[in-house]
Amino acid sequence: MNHRITRRGALVWSTVFLGSGALERMARGADERPGVRLATFSAEVTPRLGHPLLGGQLAPARSIDDPLFAKGLVLLGRDQPIVLVAVDWCEIRNDAYARWRGVLAEAAATSADRVLVTSVHQHDAPLADLTAQGLLDEAKVDGKIIDLDFHERTVQRVAAALKESLKTSRPVTHFGLGQAKVERVASNRRVVDASGKASFARYSATRDAVIRDLPEGLIDPWLKVLSFWDGQQPLAAINAYATHPMSYYGGGAVSSDFVGLARAQRQQDDPSVHQIYVSGCSGDVTAGKYNDGSPENRQRLVGRMHKAMTEAWKSTKRHSLSTVQFRVVPLRLPHREANQTADALRAQLGDTSKPMFARALAAMGLSSRQRNPEGHQIDVAVLDLGAAQMVLLPGESLVGYQLMAQKLRPDCFVMAIGYGECSPGYIPTDEASREGYAESQGWCWVAPEVEKLMADALGRALNAPSRLAK
């Protein structure tokens, strides 16, 4: 359901919750026009040396190539504030995700369902799942997913930065929309060899020249930028692009990698504009066609991303801000059962012959099942500005879902963000499931063939006139 006020010039600020027990707040009219304000915040989230990276799968932090940040904004109006924060971490899952949302909601004086947390997803960075860490501790596993004290200190630091930013909020009169094609960065994991056999062998760093030379495959080539303005003055820019954000990784050198470094360059270009970068739906998209994993190639990718960000900014067109709507649609994705029943996961966790990370994977799976026994419970949230829709999707949703979101609303600018609640891991399309994507990649805790569930949630969240789900 969608509520609009037809009186010319009215600013609509409304919230719609779609699901069982839905609560709807009606929009307010022009005579109550509250205006909209924006606060921006940034806080460092760099781990200490020795901290585990990618949940313990990679070498721990041995050096800091560049600091990690949580960069966000708060939209304030007559209704409760809306928060978006992009964290330079690999993933935030289960109760860790709930903790981030809850603490930031308290700092912003809003409700947790209005807090959008997304991970940028570079791999030389922390991964957070608090219950999974507790399960490892109980099983006396030699290794960690996340340092719990570090996690809590970090969440509180980000919340303090958010709360402080509210003192210096600025009016928002316009929003801007721009996009530009990114040249020679993204490529799909899926490749087809000379015999016609499909595989998912193109990783972020692909050293096999034969695989690199194969076609790009299915990607979204556009980098999109959504900005907020006070008259002629730009205040903040959200840059979004769908690719795994890694060039080289695994040696313990903490970094925001090529996307974070490009973001930093854009921040230097104009310090008055708060730059945020979010990763799109890119579970099956990497830089592998254009990246051999050599350190010098990182700077090439930085340059290409920075160029696209700059061109997208130059293409930006401003629109008067007359509508701010927020919708939340509940989504439940069933747990994966193949080798991942609760009993199988408990056995794997307790098997001392298994390497640490195999036991950590089991702990993550059990964490999800303990939190939501009937399936991964996700909020699919949409910020609706009328001519633009920004939607947050869970986990490593494949790029097909980003393209689906755009097809559902061809009448407007759609910015899809991935890596929200990351408990499901990879979320394949049905076609990818049938081709064995989850089995070939691992890191998947969701049942196969969930495309209809995803499409239905997207259709409702985006308020699509005709949904793709059948």
What is the C-alpha separation between 19 and 150, in angstroms, rounded? 36
Contact indicator for 154, 45 with CB cutoff of 8 Å:
yes
Pairing between β-strand 396-397 and β-strand 426-427 as defined by DSSP bridges: parallel
Q: What is the pLDDT of residue 202?
A: 94
380: left (phi over 0), alpha (psi -120 to 50) or beta: beta
- Residue 468's pLDDT band (cuts 50, 70, 90): low
pLDDT, tens digit, for every residue of 312-323? 999 999 999 999
Q: What is the pLDDT of residue 196?
A: 86
Q: Positive or negative, the Cα torsion across 338, 341, 346, 349?
A: positive
Q: Positive or negative, the Cα torsion across 421, 423, 424, 427?
A: positive
- 68 class by beta-carbon count within 10 Å (0-12 exposed, 13-18 middle, 19+ buried): buried
Domain membership flag for residue 467: no
pTM: 0.94
Domain membership flag for residue 466: no
- Residue 439's pLDDT band (cuts 50, 70, 90): confident
Domain membership flag for residue 469: no
Domain membership flag for residue 4: no
What's the whole-number average pLDDT of the chain? 92
Domain span at residue 105 reads 12-461
What is the C-alpha separation between 231 and 211, in angstroms, rounded? 49
| 193-202, 240-249, 446-455: least confident range | 193-202
Domain membership flag for residue 2: no
Q: State the average pLDDT over residues 63-86.
A: 98
Q: Is the per-residue pLDDT at 119 higher than 50?
A: yes
Domain membership flag for residue 388: yes
Q: What is the pLDDT of residue 20?
A: 44
Domain membership flag for residue 5: no
DSSP 444: B
Distances (CA, A) of 260 to 118, 267, 437: 14, 10, 28
What is the C-alpha separation between 59 and 252, in angstroms, rounded? 5
pLDDT, tens digit, for every residue of 279-324? 999 999 999 999 999 999 999 999 999 999 999 999 999 999 999 9
What is the C-alpha separation between 204 and 279, in angstroms, rounded? 14
Annotate 367-396 with DSSP letters as a single string: HHHHH-TTSEEEEEEEEE-SSEEEEE--TE
- Residue 31's pLDDT band (cuts 50, 70, 90): very low
Q: Say what the alpha-carbon torsion angle 400, 406, 407, 410 is, to the nearest 10 degrees.
A: -170
Six-digit token string for 268: 């230097």
| 14-23, 206-215, 381-390: least confident range | 14-23
pLDDT, tens digit, for every residue of 442-455? 899 999 999 999 99
Terminal C-alpha separation, the chain: 19
- Residue 105's pLDDT band (cuts 50, 70, 90): very high
- Residue 131's pLDDT band (cuts 50, 70, 90): very high
Please state the domain count of the chain. 1
Q: State the average pLDDT over residues 338-357.
A: 96
- The b-or-e profile of 190-217 (16+ CB within 10 A means b, else e) is bbeeeeeeeebbbbbbbeeeebbebebb
Six-digit token string for 188: 């799909």
Domain membership flag for residue 364: yes
